[in-house]
Amino acid sequence: MNRRISRQGNGNIVLIAGLALILIAGSLFWWTQRSRPVPLTTPYQAVLLTTGAVYFGQLEGLGTPFPILHDVFYVQSNQDPESKQVSNILVKRGKEWHQPDRMIINSNMIVLVEPVNPESRVADLIKQSTNK
């Protein structure tokens, strides 16, 4: 009878060890996939942050904890006080007092990333801005 109990005990230990190995392997696979950069296929991307701000630029390291946005642009809205008409312009970051050359973004702040089509109005405005 003792042999029967010890065989069952050994079987349970093997089962628990096997499940632990599967759990560890699954966790490692998930972690490596989570921290792998996502390839982007267009020169510029639109990045929506949890603050509601949208930035356009060249995103590097999407899928990592701190992706970097280079060549950054944002839309600035101006309202004419007389006509109340709103106009939007695309502004290149870097002209602020601290003259940033990039944005390092906490990935937890990114809601979504979309490609900027090279034929879009935003891409045209970026091209015009860089040709000045």
- State residue 9's pLDDT score: 62
| Domain encompassing residue 64 | 44-130
Say how many domains are in the chain.
Answer: 2
Of the candidates 52, 58, 129, 59, which has an alpha carbon nearest to the alpha carbon of residue 89? 129
Using one digit for the tens of pLDDT, what is the confidence trace for 21-66? 889 888 887 776 665 667 889 999 999 999 999 999 999 999 889 9
- With respect to residue 39, please indicate whether it lies within any of the assigned structural domains: no
Same domain, 52 and 103: yes
State whether 4 and 63 are in the same domain: no
Q: Which pLDDT score is estimated for 59?
A: 96
**In the chain, what's the furthest Cα-to-Cα distance?**
96
Q: Are residues 63 and 21 in the same domain?
A: no
Q: Taking a C-beta distance cutoff of 8 angstroms, is the pair 130, 123 a contact?
A: no
Are 17 and 53 members of one domain?
no
Give me the pLDDT at residue 11, please: 72
Pair of tokens at residue 111: 């809601």
Q: 88-124 burial string, b = 16+ CB within 10 Å, else e? A: eebebbeeeeeeeeebebeeeebeebeebeeeeebbe
Report the pLDDT averaged over residues 90-119: 93
Residues 14 and 76 in one domain: no
Residue 132 — pLDDT band, cuts 50, 70, 90? low
